[in-house]
Amino acid sequence: MSSLMENLHERAEELQAILDGITEPLVLIDSGFRVRRVNKATLEFSSEPDFPSTLGRKCYEVLYNRSAVCPYCPMKDHHENEPDFDAQFEGKGEVGREIFHVANNQKETLYLDFFPIRKDGSIVSIVEKISNITRIKEKEEENLRIRNLASLGIFISGVAHELNNPLTGMSLTLQNLMNNLSSMDPTFFRKRLEMIKEDLTRAAMIVLDVISFAKPDKLVTTNADIHETIMKAKDSVTWVYPVLSKNTEWEILSEPGMTFQFNPVKMERLFINLFKNSLQAYDYGEGKIKVEVRRTRNMMHIFVEDTAGGIPEDMLDKIFSPFFSKNKSGIGTGLGLSICHSIVREHSGELTVRSYDRRTRFKISLPLVQPKGN
C-alpha cells in the first residue's frame, strides 16, 4: 500500500510539473464552480500566494474577483447543485470566449477556452485555459491603423493625380489663349474653350466620386428608361474621354421604353464608372464594350462586358473595396467600383462580376419596384 501511495504521489507531482510548465493559466473547475487544481501561471494571474489558497474556492472569485458567476461564462445557467455540466455542453466540444478584464488598473483582452472533462458519459468538470491576447489585439489594431493610413494615402494620391490631369490641361489651354489672343480666330478660340469645358467636367466627375462615397444622398427614384440612361452614360464617357474611346466599338442590346423605378442620375454614374473602367483596361487599344438588358418578371438585369484581359482570380473579391485599384501605376481614386456597389445596394439590387476567357462581365440586378421605405 505504501509503494502504491508513493507511486500516486509521484505521478501527481509529475502532472503538476507538466501543468506548471505551461505558461498560460489552467484551472480545473467542478460542477459547483469550485477550483480543484491550478498551475503556477494561475497563481501569478490571480495574485494568490500558493496553491492551497485557491483550492475549494469559487472560480469566479479566485480568477476574476467576482461575487457571482461571470456573465460571459458558458456555464452561467448551470445550478451549483446539479451534478454535471451536460446541459451547458450538449452537442458541443470546447467553447471559446473573448473578454475584457481589468488587472492592476489596466484593461486586458483575454481569450478563454473551456474544455469539458467526461466521466462515465457525463461532464463532471471543466478545464479553463486563459490566454492573454492583449498584445496580439494591440498589434492587430496597429496594423489596421497602418492599413487605413496607407489606404488614405493611396486615395489622396489618386485624387491628386486624377485632378492634376484636367487642371494641367486647363492651365496649358488658358496659357495658349493668352499668348494668342490678338491673332486667334473665333473657331480656334471656341475649340480651346471646349477643351477647358471638357477638363472642368472631368474634374467635377472626380469630385463627385469622392462626395458620393463620403456622403451618399438619400435615394429618390422615379419611373425612368434604363436604355436612355445607358445611352447618356455612353455619350458622357465618349465625350469626356474622346481619345481613350476612339478605338472602342459599342454593342448596346437594349431598346427604348424599358422603364422601371430607379434613380436615373445615380444609375448614370454607375454606368459611367463601369464604362470608364473598360476603356482604361483597353489602354487606347481596340476593343468592344457590350451592354445587354434583360427583363424578367420582377427584375431588370443589365450586363456590361469587355474583352480587355479580365481580372485575376485573387482580385475578384477585392475590386468593390474602397481605394482598391488594379492599376499598378496608382492612377485613379479606387472609388469607382465601390460607388457602383453602393448605388446598386441603395436600389436593393445586386452587383456581381465574372472574369473568364480574358473577359470581364458585370451583372447588375435591380428590382422593378423599390421596396417601401427605400
Q: Going residue by residue through the chain (374 aa), what tens digit of pLDDT does each one get?
A: 566 667 766 777 787 888 878 889 999 999 999 999 999 999 999 989 999 999 999 999 999 989 999 988 988 888 888 888 888 887 777 888 888 887 777 888 899 999 998 888 889 999 999 999 888 878 877 776 776 666 666 666 666 766 776 777 788 878 877 877 777 777 877 887 887 887 787 777 667 666 665 555 567 889 999 999 999 999 888 887 787 888 899 999 999 999 999 988 889 888 988 998 888 888 878 899 999 999 998 999 999 999 988 877 766 666 665 544 555 444 444 455 777 888 898 899 999 988 888 899 999 999 998 876 55
Co-location of 133 and 257 in the same domain: no
**Is residue 178 assigned to a domain?**
no
Q: Which amino acid is at 363?
A: K
Give the pLDDT of residue 162.
67
Contact present, 294 and 332 (Cβ < 8 Å): no
What is the per-residue pLDDT for 253? 95
**Chain centre distance of CA 369:** 29
For residue 80, give the nearest of 30, 28, 36 by alpha carbon.
30
d(CA 347, CA 198): 30
Same domain, 132 and 229: no
* Containing structural domain, residue 94: 1-138
Of 73, 105, 138, which residue sits at a domain end?
138
Does residue 231 lie in a domain region?
yes
**Is the same domain home to 222 and 129?**
no
Are 281 and 306 a contacting pair, CB within 8 Å?
yes
Report CA 234 to chain centroid distance, whole Å.
31
Q: What is the largest CA-CA distance in the chain?
A: 121
pLDDT of the residue at 81: 85
User: Where among 111, 138, 165 does a domain terminate?
Assistant: 138
| Assigned domain for 358 exists | yes
Would residue 192 count as lying in a domain? no
| pTM recorded for the entire structure | 0.47
CATH number at 78 reads: 3.30.450.20
Residues 132 and 235 in one domain: no
Residues linked to residue 259 through DSSP beta bridges, in sequence order = 225
- Residue 4's pLDDT is 65
Encoded amino acid at 194, one letter:
E
Q: Give the domain-ending residue among 117, 138, 159.
A: 138
Q: Are residues 131 and 260 in the same domain?
A: no
- Provide the CATH number for the domain around residue 238: 3.30.565.10
Q: For residue 123, what are the CA distances in angstroms to 88, 117, 126, 128, 232?
A: 9, 5, 8, 14, 69
* Rounded Cα–Cα distance for residues 82 and 224 (Å): 67
Residue 356: name the closest of 312, 318, 296, 323 by CA: 312
244 and 97 together in one domain: no
Give domain status of residue 275, yes or no: yes
* Whether residue 367 sits in one domain with residue 238: yes
Query: Total structural domains in the chain?
Result: 2
Task: Report pLDDT for 13.
Answer: 76
